[in-house]
Amino acid sequence: MFNGSILIGASERSGGEPFYAVHPATGAKGDVAFSNASPADVADAAALADAAFESFSTLSPDARASFLEAVADQIVAIGDLLIETAMAESGLPRPRLEGERGRTVGQLRLFASYVRQGDWLDATIDKALPDRAPLPRSDLRRVNQSLGPVAVFGASNFPLAFSVAGGDTASAFAAGSPVVVKGHPAHPGTGELVARAIAAAVKASGLHEGVFSYLPGTTNDLGGALVSDARIKAVGFTGSRGGGIALMKIAAGREEPIPVYSEMSSINPVVLLPAALAARAEAMGAAFVGSLTMGSGQFCTNPGLVIALDGPDLDTFVASAAAAMSGAAPQVMLTPGIHAAYEKGVAAIAGAEGVTTVARGTEPEGVNRGQAAFFSTDSANFFANPQLADEVFGSSSVLIRCSSIEEVVKTIADLEGQLTATLQMADGDEADAAALLPTLARKVGRILTNGWPTGVEVTHAMVHGGPFPSTSDGRTTSVGTLAMMRFLRPVCYQDVPDALLPPALQAANPWGLTRRMEGKLEASA
């Protein structure tokens, strides 16, 4: 169960101006009064995280992996209460949340298996060359270790998979970082249930209580205090561009600046190439609307921009999309605030010069339902109205009609950084695709062909990241095993006696790692 507590390590607290969950499907207020964490709570959580750092960051891969698995088990053990609570607080349907729980648990287990394997330590050894002339070379050994305690800000749109025990927390734990989560006020009961599951796993695993703390709250000041705390060494955030940039500024202005991994804003261009349009315009129109309206369009990878050569095949696509959209039943959005922002964003596009409204979803019944929207304009008008490229979070997309493939390339080249770009192509589109790919590769983190950008797999090869402003740091990903590298830094040991070296670097290789010896990977003997 949950009671609105703040969790500082193994202790529970309450305090601050209470707040309540809002059930978006009805607009009703929940019963439980949630505490609002204070700067003193931040300081205590950060101090505990700092105290936990040494023991947690030096755990063996196996012990850390077992902890990740224990977190997964504890989340499963919450049972249906977790799904029911998340349904009420997010308005998301049961199958989606059951799937999301599966992804959350699977993500923790994937990190566990990758942590056990140990390649992320990047253990690298250049042995001493005592006879080198003119000077001998020392023995040099390098290994990755955690940056330090990490602050995580969960996303509203994934109350399980990108919130309290989501991708940022899982990857930070995997890297050996204690985590302090600032709970998202849109799903406080869900958040507390998961926080208690993590705390139970910390206890069951015999770890220092400071490995995890949970700070529910509604204020920007709470987040600011957390990012400002000198003991916090990195930040994971998924949310709005404004919120992410605010955290970047706080982090850059600290006495010791720290990295912020903000996943922010992306409109995920989809390019419809001519042969694909000729071959399957109608099917693509329906599939596009399926991707656009899934989950009320509340995905970072929602296809908010479609770019194509004008002509009759494009008209067929548009007609098919319009027909599909007119049958799309409005779904509950995550919060009244998100719904209001969606309505405002759609109204701004609908009212912009040179923009035609191609289709809307059916008229909503009930509160906080998102009515899908599809607009059309040409590329000259798109360039003249930069606000048309702003993300509207929800099922809203703009079609850009181009007159040549060169205009398509230019439209892509002038976009800001994006999480994804998609090429719809068929036989005959290869040359156009080849002409587009170099521009796409500079602009985005993931390039798809003949799929839709929604639906992010948690694997080794996934990149859920991209150039600014899609994220604050295009060198990274927030989904997939590579995400744990965000929280690591290399340390080199020069001529340090074997017994004092971290196990990953010891001569006996007690963790059985594949290590880089004189530049070449070498499997454990």
Angle at 128 between CA 125 and CA 129, to 5 degrees: 130
CB of 460 to its own copies, least distance (A): 5
Number of C-beta neighbours around residue 524 at 10 A: 11
Rounded least distance, CB 27 to its own copies, Å:
32
Nearer to its own copies, 38 or 477 (CB): 477
Is residue 172 within the footprint of its own copies (CB under 8 A)? no
Contact predicate 265/123, CB 8 Å: no
**Residue 135, token pair as written in the block:** 């000077």
The 3-class secondary structure across 152-166, one letter per residue, is EECCCCCCCCCCCCC
- Helix H or strand E segment including 438: helix 430-443
Beta strands (DSSP E) in 170-328 are 179-183, 212-216, 234-238, 260-263, 269-272, 305-309
Judged by CB under 8 A, the stretch of 82-90, 155-163, 246-254, 271-279 that binds its own copies is 246-254
Under 8 Å between Cβ of 418 and 267 = yes
Least Cα distance to 455 among 24, 72, 96 occurs for 96
Nearer CB in complex with its own copies: 346/405: 405
Amino acid at 136: P
Site residues for its own copies, 14-53, by CB under 8 A, read 53
Interacting stretch for its own copies, rule CB under 8 A, among 252-260, 272-280, 343-351, 370-378?
252-260
Distance CA 221, CA 420 (A): 32
From the CB of 257, what's the least distance to its own copies, in Å?
A: 6
Residue type, 87: M
Smallest distance, its own copies to C-beta of residue 519, A:
5
What residues between 81 and 140 interact with its own copies by CB under 8 A?
113-114, 117, 119, 124-126, 135, 137-138, 140
Catalytic residue among 69, 192, 300, 391: 300
Secondary structure (DSSP) of 231-294 = T--EEEEES-HHHHHHHHHHHHHSSS---EEEE-----EEEE-HHHHHHHHHHHHHHHHHHHHG
Instruction: Tell me: does residue 147 bind its own copies (CB under 8 A).
Output: yes
Residue 48 three-state SS = helix
**Residues of this chain, 382-411, that bind its own copies according to CB under 8 A:** none
Distance separating alpha carbons of residues 211 and 209, to the nearest angstrom: 5
Contacts with its own copies, 191-230, as mask; x by CB under 8 A: ----------------------------------------
Q: Which of 250, 22, 62, 239 is nearest to 152 (CA)?
A: 239
Closest CA to 51 of 256, 213, 208: 208
Judged by CB under 8 A, the chain residues 417 through 476 that form the site for its own copies are: 417, 430, 433-434, 437-438, 441-442, 444-451, 455, 457, 459-463, 465, 467-469, 472-476
Which is nearer to its own copies, 101 or 196 (by Cβ)?
Answer: 101
Shortest gap between Cβ of 140 and its own copies (angstroms)?
4
Among residues 68, 179, 276, 482, the one that binds its own copies under rule CB under 8 A: 482
Which of 28, 40, 252, 340: binder of its own copies (CB under 8 A)? 252
Quick one: how many helices (H) and strands (E) in the chain? 14, 23
Shortest reach from residue 442's CB to its own copies, in Å: 7
Site for its own copies in 315-334 (CB under 8 A): none
Contact 362, 328 (CB under 8 A): yes
**Which residue's CB is nearer to its own copies, number 135 or number 525?**
135
300 catalytically annotated? yes
493 near its own copies, rule: CB under 8 A: yes
Nearer to its own copies, 392 or 463 (CB): 463
CB-nearer residue toward its own copies: 357 or 514: 514
Contact 374, 321 (CB under 8 A): yes
What are the φ/ψ torsions at residue 453 (nearest 5 degrees)? -70, -25
Residues 48-67 contacting its own copies, CB under 8 A: 53-54, 58
Query: At closest approach, how far in Å is the CB of 218 from its own copies?
Result: 28
Q: How far is the CB of 413 from its own copies (least distance, A)?
A: 11
Catalytic residue among 100, 192, 263, 407: 263
Task: At 489, list the tokens.
Answer: 């830094």
How far is C-alpha 168 from the chain's CA centre? 7
- The nearest distance, CB 189 to its own copies, in angstroms, is 27
Stretch that binds its own copies, among 268-276, 286-294, 393-401, 484-492 (CB under 8 A): 484-492
Distance in angstroms (rounded) separating the CA atoms of residues 480 and 483: 6
Q: Which is nearer to its own copies, 256 or 365 (CB)?
A: 256
Catalytic-residue membership of 263: yes
Stretch that binds its own copies, among 15-23, 282-290, 310-318, 517-525 (CB under 8 A): 517-525
Closest to 256 measured CA to CA, from 222, 235, 233, 237? 233
| Binder among 491, 498, 507, 524 for its own copies (CB under 8 A) | 491
Nearer to its own copies, 242 or 351 (CB): 242
Interface segment toward its own copies; rule CB under 8 A; list 28-36, 79-87, 269-277, 495-503: 495-503
Which residues have C-beta within 8 Å of that of residue 255, sequence separation ≥ 6?
230
Query: Which CB, 30 or 99, lies closer to its own copies?
Result: 99
Cβ proximity to its own copies: between 11 and 450 the closer is: 450
CB 391 within 8 A of CB 344: no
Find the shortest distance in angstroms from Cβ 351 to its own copies. 26
- What are the Cα distances from residue 310, in Å, to 40, 410, 465? 59, 15, 31
**Residue pair 187/179 in contact by the 8 Å Cβ criterion:** no
Active-site residues, by number, are 263, 300
